[in-house]
Amino acid sequence: MTVTAFFHPNQLDFWPKYEWATAATLADLEIRLSTSKHGAGSLSTTFADNRGDDEVLARSGPLTIEPGDYPAGGSPNAFGKLIELTSPFVYDGGPLLIEAANTGLVSGRQVDNVYPVPGGSQSVYGGSYDATVGDLGAYDDLIVIELVVQLP
């Protein structure tokens, strides 16, 4: 993704793969944003090697998910409840890196994606909240998210 204007993402929403039938609380959902040191197709499976010098921990803390917050089942699914980002990140172009880690869900892909997207997008998956490497692999896929931005 390349843009010519500066913007500040202040909310995001994932396109869910599964719908929750009962309420669940993630003890910690961490979202980091930065300009990636590597473009799509050349991401390292070592997460820290991809983070840019402008890395921001945009969100950290518990997240409660109620039934119906993230509808699933169709293709495409509707977007669900927005997740507030609590620390500002100013994006001014280049490869955007979004890194998310959570406690409380099984490992693997919990969000919907478009696959394959050769050269246009890449995802690296780790098997635990504190994973430092993508032990579940790297894929030429596009995780479908919605960003709500604030223009300067």
Name the phi and psi angles at 48, rounded to 5.
Answer: -60, -30
| Pairwise CA distance, residues 66 & 95, whole Å | 33
pLDDT recorded at residue 72: 72
Q: Residue 16: which pLDDT band, with cuts at 50, 70 and 90?
A: low
* pTM score: 0.81
Q: Residue 76: which pLDDT band, with cuts at 50, 70 and 90?
A: low
Strands 8-14 and 29-35 come out as unpaired
Name the phi and psi angles at 47, rounded to 5.
Answer: -55, -45
Q: How far apart are the first and last CA of the chain?
A: 19
The residue among 17 and 95 whose pLDDT is bigger is 95
7: amino acid identity, one letter: F
141 in Cβ contact with 113 (< 8 Å): yes
Name the phi and psi angles at 109, rounded to 5.
Answer: -80, 115
| Pairwise CA distance, residues 109 & 46, whole Å | 18
Q: pLDDT tens digit string along 91-146? A: 888 899 988 888 866 544 556 667 777 667 888 888 888 889 988 888 888 777 77
| Pairwise CA distance, residues 26 & 61, whole Å | 8
